[in-house]
Amino acid sequence: MLTVENLRKSFGGVIAMNDVTLHFDAGSLTAVIGPNGAGKTTFFNLITGAFPPDAGRVLLGGEDIAGLRAPDIMRRGIGRAFQIASIFPSFTVREAILGAVNARRRWYARVGRRFPLAEAHAQADEVMELVGLSARAEARSGTLSHGDQKLLDIALALALEPRVLLLDEPTAGMGPEERWQMMETVHQLWQRKHMTLIFIEHDMDIVFKYAQTIRVLSYGKVLAEGQPADVRRNAQVIEAYLGAHYRAGDA
Amino acid sequence: MPKSPLTRDLLFALGALALLAVLPLVFPGKAFSDFVIRLSAFAIFATSLNLLIGYGGMVSFGHGLFYGLGAYSFALLMQKAGASIPAAFALTILINGGVAAVIGAICIRLKEIYFSFLTLAFQMLLHSLIIAWTSVTGGDQGLTGGLPRPPFLGIRLDDPHQLYLFCCTVLVVSLLLMRHLVQSPFGYTLRMIRDNPRRAEFLGIRVWRVRLLAFVVAGIFGGVGGMLISLFVSSAYPDFAYWTVSGEGVFMILLGGMSVFLGPAAGAGILLLLNDLVTRFTEHYSLVLGIVILLFALGLRRGVLGFAADLWAKRAATARVAASQARPAA
Amino acid sequence: MLLFLVAAGLSLIFGTLKVTNFMHGSLYMLGAYFAYTLYNLSGSYAVAVVGSALGVGLFALIFERLFMSRVYGADVLMQLLVCYGFILILDDAVKIIWGAEFLSMGMPAAFQRPPVMLAGGVLPVFYVFLIGVTLLVAAVLAYVITKTRVGKIVRAAAINPTMTSALGINTAVVFGGVFALGGLLAGLGGALAVPVRSLVSGMGFSILIESFIVTVIGGMGSVAGALVGALLIGLVRSFGTIGFPLFTEGVMFLFMTIVLIVKPSGLFGKER
C-alpha cells in the first residue's frame, strides 16, 4: 500500500532522513519506533507533504506522491493525527468533524447552502462513534481534555476515509490507564476499517502488545524491521534503543 | 415548527428593512436619514472587513482601499462615463473584485504583520494615486461637479426619501449575502483556516484559494460601502482611501464585537454616534476618538460595565486585605 | 537618509520587542516639531537637534512603559489600536499647539554656504551633513549592538526574554531602553528633516509607510538592512523625480513585493 524508496532529506547540514526504504502492506498495523531525533516525525512529514524530500520516491498505492503538497496528498487517501493534538478550538466536536467531512467530500467551498450539510451528518456520526466521542459531540473543542483532543485529532483524520492512517504518538502525554484505553480504541477502529495504520510510539509495552510489525529508525536510517518478537531480540535495536530490560522473555 | 436558519435570517432581514422604512415617520428630518445612510455605508464596510479579521483571521490594515476604490470607481463612472446607476454598480463590483484578486494574490502569501502592513501599503499607494492624478480624480479637492442621478427602474435617487430606502435596501441585502456566506460550508472552512491553517491543509483544504476568495468578497463589499457614501455626498474624496478609514473599521469591529455577525454594524453605529456627538462640541474629534480608543484598548475591553465591575471588585478586595492587616496578630 | 534613521528605529523595536510600533511616524513628527520650537527658542540648530532627539526618546520611553507594555502579550489588533489612538491624539495635539498650517524653518545659518562639489555633482552642504550624521549613527549603532555588553543583553532579550529575565536582567529596562532608542532615532530623523521639509500634522504617516517598506526590504531587526533599504529607496526616489511622481511609489512597491516573494525575511533579515 505504502512504499518509500531511498528517501532522503537534510536540513542545513543535518541529515534527517538517510536513504530510507520501507514498505507497509495494505491493512497492516505497524509501529515505528526509535530514539528521539531518529527521524520518525520527519518520516511522517515527508510522506504527508509537509515538505518535499531531497530525493527518493513515496508510493501510495503505486502512485508516486513525493513532492506533492499536503492538501493534494491528503486528498489521495492519507490521514494524519499529530503528536500535539492539532484541532480547531472554536468549533464543537461535531462541527469540527462535519468540517472535515466537507473537506473530504470537496464540499468545503460551497456557498449555496448552509452549514452543516445534511448529507454530512451520517458520516460524522459514524466517525464520532468510532473514536468514542459521541457523548462529547456538542462540547467546544478547545475545552476538551487532552485525551479527548487527541481522539478528536484522530477523528478528523478518519473523516478523510484514509487508506493509510498515520498516528504520531497517539498516547503522548497520557497517564498509564488512559494510554491503554486509547490504544484499545485505535486497535478497534483499525479492525473495523481495515486501513493501513502506522503509529509512532515510545511506550514499548503498547508497541509489543498491539503492533503487527515494527520498523525501527535511528539517526535517519532503518535499523531493523519485522515481527515484534524478532525486533526485541535484535542486538542493535537493544543497544540503540530498548536496553537490556526488553530482552527476549521480559514482559 | 423550527424554521431553517436561512428562513430565519430572511425574516429578520425583512423585518429590519420594514422597520427602517417606517422609522423616518417617527424621526422626520434630514439628520436621521443622513445618519442611517452613512451607517449603511460603514456597516457594510465594517462587516466586510470582519469577514477577513473575525472569520478569516486575516488582519488587513488596508481595507479602506476598497472603500475608496469603490467610491471613486462609481463616482467616475457616473460622472465621466455617464453610466446608469445599475451599470455603474455592477462595473464597480467587477473593478473591486479584480483589484482584490490581484492584491490578494500578492498579500495572502505573507503571514501576519507582513500581510497587515502590505495591505496598508497598497491602500496608501491608491491614496497617492488619487491625489496625484488630478486630471481624473480632482486631486485632494475630490471630485467636483456632483454626480448625476439618472432614474432607473422607476427609482429616482435624487429624491432623498428614495435614496434613503435604496441605501437601507442595499444595507440589508449586503448583510444578508455576507451572512449567508459566513454560514455556508465556505464560511466554516474559512473559520477552520482561522483556527488552524496547518491542520486545514492536512485535511486536504486548499487554504490559499479559500483565503483569496474571502479577500475578493470582502473587497467587493467594501466597495459597495464606498459606493453608498459616494452616492450620499455626490462625490468622492481622497479621505475615503486614507488609512484612517481602515483604522476606524478595525475599531468598529472591536467595539461591536468580532464574534457576533452584527457586531461590526453595531460598532459602526456607536462610532458614528460618537462622531456626531463630539463634533457638535469640538473640532478636535481626532483627539477625543484617540482617547476613547486608548481607553478601550487598555482597559475597557470588556465594555464599560465590565471595567466598572472589575474596579469595584478590586477595591473590595484591597479593603479586605487592609482590614485584616490592621488587626493585631491574634 | 532620514529614512534610514526612522527605519532603523522601527527595525530595532520590531527585532527586539517583536512589536510593530505603528505610531513610529508620530515620533518622527514630534521630533520635527520639537526641533522647530527649540530652534526658535534657542537660535541654535545643534541645541534643537539634540534636544528634540532626547525629548522624543523620553516620550517614547514613557509611552512604552505606560501604554505599550500592557499590550505586549495581546493580539496585534490591540497593539494596533493603542498606536492608532496615539496617532490620533498626537495629530490633534500638534494641531492645537502648533496650528494646522504648514510650518517651515528655513536653513539654519551654519549651513547657508555654497554647495559642495562631489564626484561631479553638486551637493548642498546640509545634505553632506545629513549623510555624515547618518553614517555616524549607523556606525555607532552597529558597534553598540555587536560589540558592547549592552548590545549583547539587548540581543539576548530579543531572542529569549524569559531566560534573560531569569538571569537577573531587568527586561522592563531593556525593553523600555530599546523603545526609547528607537524613538530617539525617529525624533532625530524628524529634527534633521526640519530644514528641508515643511511641517504639518500627519506628516509622520507617509514616512511610516516608507520606513516599513525599507525594513521589509532590508529585513526586520537588521540595522544594516535598514541602511541598504534606505539607500535603495533613496535611489528610486531620485530617479523618480525625473518622471511621473507616482512612478517612484510604484517602483518602491515593486521592489518590496519582489523581496517579499523571493526572500520574505528581507535581504539581511533572519527567518522568523
Could you give the CA distance from residue B232 to residue C233 in angstroms, rounded to a whole number?
40
At B282 the pLDDT is: 81
The angle formed by the CA atoms of residues B286, B218 and B55, to the nearest 5 degrees, is: 90
- The single residue listed with the C-alpha cell 487517501 is A77
Spatial CB neighbours of C74, under 8 Å, sequence gap ≥ 6: none
User: Which ranges of chain A would DSSP assign to H, the alpha helix?
Assistant: 40-48, 70-74, 93-104, 120-131, 146-158, 176-193, 204-210, 228-233, 235-237
Q: CA B84 → CA A95, A243, B137, distances in Å?
A: 45, 83, 20
Could you give the CA distance from residue A135 to residue A126 in angstroms, rounded to a whole number?
13
Q: How would DSSP label each residue in B277-294?
A: HHHHH-S-HHHHHHHHHH
At C169 the pLDDT is: 67
Q: Does any CB of chain B come closer than 8 Å to the CB of residue A103? A: yes
Residues of chain A with Cβ-Cβ distance to B198 below 8 Å are 86
Task: Decide which of A70 and B319 is more confident.
Answer: A70
At C271 the pLDDT is: 44
The angle formed by the CA atoms of residues A111, A115 and A117, to the nearest 5 degrees, is: 100
User: Which ranges of C148-203 would DSSP assign to H, the alpha helix?
Assistant: 149-159, 161-166, 171-193
Residue A45 has pLDDT above 70, yes or no: yes
At B103 the pLDDT is: 92
Could you give the CA distance from residue B120 to residue B118 in angstroms, rounded to a whole number?
5
At A248 the pLDDT is: 46
ipTM of the complex: 0.86
Picking from A5, C49, C87, the residue whose alpha carbon sits closest to that of residue B250 is: C87
Mean of the pLDDT values across residues C96-123? 68
Burial A93-108 (b: 16+ CB within 10 A, else e): bbbbbbbbbbbbbebb
Residue A126 has pLDDT above 70, yes or no: yes
Radius of gyration, CA atoms only, chain A: 18
End-to-end alpha-carbon separation of chain C, Å? 27
Please check whether residue C32 is in contact with residue C97, taking contact to mean a CB–CB distance below 8 angstroms.
no
Secondary structure (3-state) at B142: coil
Q: Does any CB of chain B come closer than 8 Å to the CB of residue A91? A: yes
At C106 the pLDDT is: 67
Q: Encode pLDDT of B191-216 as tens digits.
A: 999 999 999 989 888 899 999 999 99
Q: Encode pLDDT of B105-141 as tens digits.
A: 988 888 777 888 889 888 988 888 888 787 777 777 8
Residue C263 binned pLDDT confidence (cut-offs 50, 70, 90) = low
Q: What is the 3-state secondary structure (H, E, C) of C102-144?
A: CECCCCCHHHCCCCEEECCEEECHHHHHHHHHHHHHHHHHHHH
Could you give the CA distance from residue B135 to residue B73 in angstroms, rounded to a whole number?
15
Residue A251 has pLDDT above 60, yes or no: no
Residue C161 binned pLDDT confidence (cut-offs 50, 70, 90) = low
Residue A247: count other Cβ atoms within 10 Å of its Cβ. 12
Q: Does any CB of chain A come closer than 8 Å to the CB of residue B180? A: yes
Residue A237 has pLDDT above 50, yes or no: yes
Question: Range with the lowest mean pLDDT among A11-25, B155-169, C230-244?
Answer: C230-244
Spatial CB neighbours of B36, under 8 Å, sequence gap ≥ 6: B20, B23, B164, B167, B168
Could you give the CA distance from residue C49 to residue C133 in angstroms, rounded to a whole number?
11
At A133 the pLDDT is: 85
- Record the cell numbers describing residue C265, joined without a space: 525575511
At B328 the pLDDT is: 54
Neighbouring subunits of A (3+ Cβ pairs under 8 A): B
Could you give the CA distance from residue A64 to residue B299 in angstroms, rounded to a whole number?
56
Residue A5 has pLDDT above 80, yes or no: yes
Locate the chain B residue with the closest alpha carbon to A158. B203
A33-42, A113-122, B176-185, C67-76 — most confident range: B176-185
Mean of the pLDDT values across residues B49-55? 93
Mean of the pLDDT values across residues B6-14? 86
- Nearest-CB residue to A115 (from B184, B200, B205): B184
Q: What backbone torsions phi and psi does residue B128 show, to the nearest 5 degrees?
A: -60, -40
Residues of chain B with Cβ-Cβ distance to A109 below 8 Å are 185-186, 189, 209-210, 213
Task: Decide which of B199 and C46 is more confident.
Answer: B199
Mean of the pLDDT values across residues B85-97? 92
Mean pLDDT of chain B: 85
- Record the cell numbers describing residue B305, joined without a space: 460595565
Residue C30 has pLDDT above 80, yes or no: yes
Could you give the CA distance from residue A66 to residue A68 in angstroms, rounded to a whole number?
6
The angle formed by the CA atoms of residues B67, B72 and B74, to the nearest 5 degrees, is: 95
Order of strands, sheet of A221-226, starting from the edge strand that comes earlier in the sequence: A78-81, A164-168, A196-200, A29-33, A213-218, A221-226
- The single residue listed with the C-alpha cell 451607517 is B39
Predicted structure pTM score:
0.85
Interface test with B, best of A91, A108, A141, A166 (most B CBs within 10 A): A108
Mean of the pLDDT values across residues C250-272? 65
Residue C158 has pLDDT above 70, yes or no: no
Cross-chain residue pair A115–B196, CB shorter than 8 Å: no
Q: What backbone torsions phi and psi does residue A101 show, to the nearest 5 degrees?
A: -60, -45
Locate the chain C residue with the closest alpha carbon to B131. C246
Residue C8 has pLDDT above 70, yes or no: yes
Cross-chain residue pair B187–A80, CB shorter than 8 Å: no
Q: Does any CB of chain A come closer than 8 Å to the CB of residue B198? A: yes
